[in-house]
Structure 1
Amino acid sequence: MSAIARVDTATVVLPLPAPLQLGAMTVTRREYTAVRATAGDGTTGVAYCLSREAPMAEIVERLVASHAVGTDADDPASTWGRMLRGSAIVGRVGLVRRAIGLVDIALWDIAARRAGVPLWRLLGTGDAPRDAMLVAAYPSPQRTPREVADEVLAQADGWSQVKISRIPDPAYMRELLALLNAELPDTTGLVVDVGFGWPDADTALAEIAQWGDPRLAWLEDPLLPEDAAGVARIRRESGLPVAVGDEVTDPAVLKALVEVGEVDALRLDVVAIGGVTPARELIAWAAERGVPVSGHVYPEVTAHLGIQVETFARGVNPYDPAPSFVTGGPRFDGAVTPSDTPGLGFGLDPAVFRFERD
């Protein structure tokens, strides 16, 4: 048996060219935390996440890493239980679960590398191209609906879904949605991400009524995910499909969104939910109930899980700098095909992430 020898962290801050407004949040920069786990035989595994300005590296180092060190490098699921129990007194959900998720993903990377197979083969999800959603635009008052629609249309070819964020101006949204509904290919669905921007179902329904009669693949994250009953009401009274789940760390909240909220798709953040180990269980649980699962960012990982993959444009884009530091990974061409390289099949640019022990 080879054991996990150490877990290292690194954090980097990358500015955005212009602020993004998503719901009640204004994003001016992207901060990422990365984990690199190393087994006794020298095999390494990596993971990264948006820190959302939380001290993710410190949480990994102080509360999680010690519970992974010394565990079987070929049995990440058992290590996950040890990490959860070891930190249970301070956090079975929330930031600690995110930290566990980071380490868990890196450990699955190691396990698959040691087995000499890509992670999708170890998980049994196959290598068929994954359905994919492109995050295409963030509207702002500084740009007209026509300009935003043109940005989306320039990218839409070949993608089964494109996503825009909501702007809290109903007249603007009405014009933008009318343009996109008229001009997007029939094969491309439109998603509107509210980013938890509405406080309650009454407010949501009043604003949606001013949007005209939009055709949406789904309305994403209209309310905080804990308000499953409010989500169900929006879905029922607006007639729009709804998907919720971004950033959720508690599996019980995701299950309530299916059972009470009656969501049309369940959004799953593989880091936030605690990594590959619990994500597999939730994906299987949702499949038993006929509910599709859509991954929240981190396409290099979700491509291995057999669910819908969300991605920003690869290369340089104004919304997500991650493609600038990820090396290797899946193939993006409207669908997303997981890498056939052993492990997760991607790396992190060492010029960007400088781990303390390098």
Structure 2
Amino acid sequence: MTIVRVDTATTALPLPEPLHLGAMTVTHREYSAVQVTADDGTIGVAYCLSREAPMAEIVERLVAPHAIGADADDPAAAWERMLRGSAIVGRVGLVRRAIGLVDIALWDIAARRAGVPLWTLLGTGEGPRDAMLVAAYPSPNRTPREVADEVLGQAAGWSQVKISRIPDPAYMRDLIAMLNAELPAKTGLVVDAGFGWNDADAALAEIAQWGDPRLAWLEDPLLPEDAEGVARIRRGCGLAVAVGDEVTDPAVLKALVDVGGVDALRLDVVAIGGVTPARELIAWAAERGVPLSGHVYPEVTAHLGIQVETFARGINPYDPAPSFIKGGPRFSGGVTPGGAPGLGFALDSTVFRFERN
């Protein structure tokens, strides 16, 4: 059986209020999706945050032609076809994201055709995954007490909760102190800096003003390519550090480990190129004793057997994706992949209107 169609769709969903993360301001979430069809009619799907990039067009022009005709039961071979077919224009960056989007849908097809959930094909087991809840984005128009109450109202049962950094040291000192004092004993606190500092000196100077920040880890203090700078922050502040969001080149993640700059790696399954290269990176990290934490896409990450990151399910002010996901894992403190074949979820056809290519 071979792949005969790759169709795409894009949608933009507004947020109730802007989010501020590092140097970025987010007013809406734009998503791209693919629907891949095998010649026996089996359909696989995947979606991603487009980050305002023309993901659908990249898939259509640079990736889909190499997926069509591929063996529907061998997504790893199809991944190699897609990578080599588009190698002249990019093996990292947006093209790799587009390959990742299609690769995830191909694994969905392979597992559906086998009649098993994807975690069975991957051999990762069906048990609950450790999970981190993205709980709040502080902003100047809300007091630390208001943000702390928002986090505390959701924290029960989660091994970690995450907040974003706001560039106000006094605000962060008060907020972190409240959460350190009031979070359940088994719930760790993560602060996501969102690549918000330009260099290690600036990061260390600001962190020094946070008082006694007892964190599960500090996330993405610098751009991930600055492995030496990240390592210096880790040594200088004494906090555990995790880096890797949006990285498309596995070599960047490996460099962070090689220089001793991280306690955990963040893995974006779409950005890294899909399930196929994610499996290789997970095995590489396991050999070195480095834990991996997924970046968004919990419906996919739950099958990989690593820590899952999720927003609150249902409609929430930060992530509208649950409004268009039908099915998927069970969310209750931990995240448990379901028993349905493939990825186990569908995309709402009223949100994603796939264009036939």
Shorter-chain TM-score bucket reads over 0.9
Q: 1:100-111 to 2 correspondence within 5 Å?
A: 100-111=99-110
Give the aligned partner of residue 77 of structure 2: 78
Give the aligned partner of residue 55 of structure 1: 54
- Is the CA contact (8 Å cut-off) linking 1:12 and 1:353 kept in structure 2? yes
What is the TM-score normalised by the length of structure 1? 0.99
1:261 and 1:201 map into 2 onto residues whose CA distance is 15
- Is the CA contact (8 Å cut-off) linking 1:164 and 1:191 kept in structure 2? yes
Give the aligned partner of residue 223 of structure 1: 222
Alpha-carbon distance, 1:260 to partner: 1.1
What secondary structure is seen at the aligned counterpart in 1 of 2:33?
strand
Give the aligned partner of residue 176 of structure 1: 175
2:131 and 2:238 map into 1 onto residues whose CA distance is 24
What secondary structure is seen at the aligned counterpart in 1 of 2:126?
coil
Give the aligned partner of residue 152 of structure 1: 151
2:234 and 2:356 map into 1 onto residues whose CA distance is 50
What secondary structure is seen at the aligned counterpart in 1 of 2:353?
coil
Listed one character per residue, the Cα deviations across residues 205-237 of structure 1 (whole Å, up to 9, x for unaligned) are: 000000001100000000000000111111111
2:277 and 2:22 map into 1 onto residues whose CA distance is 28
Alpha-carbon distance, 1:81 to partner: 0.5
Alpha-carbon distance, 1:262 to partner: 3.0
2:221 and 2:190 map into 1 onto residues whose CA distance is 12
Give the aligned partner of residue 69 of structure 1: 68
Give unmatched runs, 5+ long, in structure 2.
none
Alpha-carbon distance, 1:261 to partner: 4.0
Q: 1:84-163 to 2 correspondence within 5 Å?
A: 84-163=83-162
Give the aligned partner of residue 287 of structure 2: 288
Give the aligned partner of residue 43 of structure 2: 44
Following TM superposition, where does structure 1 have runs of at least 4 consecutive aligned residues deviating by more than 4 angstroms?
A: none
Q: 1:208-287 to 2 correspondence within 5 Å?
A: 208-287=207-286
1:19 aligns with 2:40: no
1:73 and 1:204 map into 2 onto residues whose CA distance is 47
Query: What code does the residue aligned with 2:39 have?
Result: G
Give unmatched runs, 5+ long, in structure 1.
none
- Is the CA contact (8 Å cut-off) linking 2:8 and 2:356 kept in structure 1? no
2:109 and 2:177 map into 1 onto residues whose CA distance is 48
What secondary structure is seen at the aligned counterpart in 2 of 1:303?
helix
Give the aligned partner of residue 348 of structure 1: 347
What secondary structure is seen at the aligned counterpart in 2 of 1:210?
helix
- Is the CA contact (8 Å cut-off) linking 1:230 and 1:261 kept in structure 2? no
1:122 and 1:204 map into 2 onto residues whose CA distance is 42
Alpha-carbon distance, 1:85 to partner: 0.3
1:316 and 1:120 map into 2 onto residues whose CA distance is 27
The Cα RMSD (Å) is 0.7
Listed one character per residue, the Cα deviations across residues 5-51 of structure 1 (whole Å, up to 9, x for unaligned) are: 01000000000000000000000000000000000000000000000
1:261 and 1:298 map into 2 onto residues whose CA distance is 27
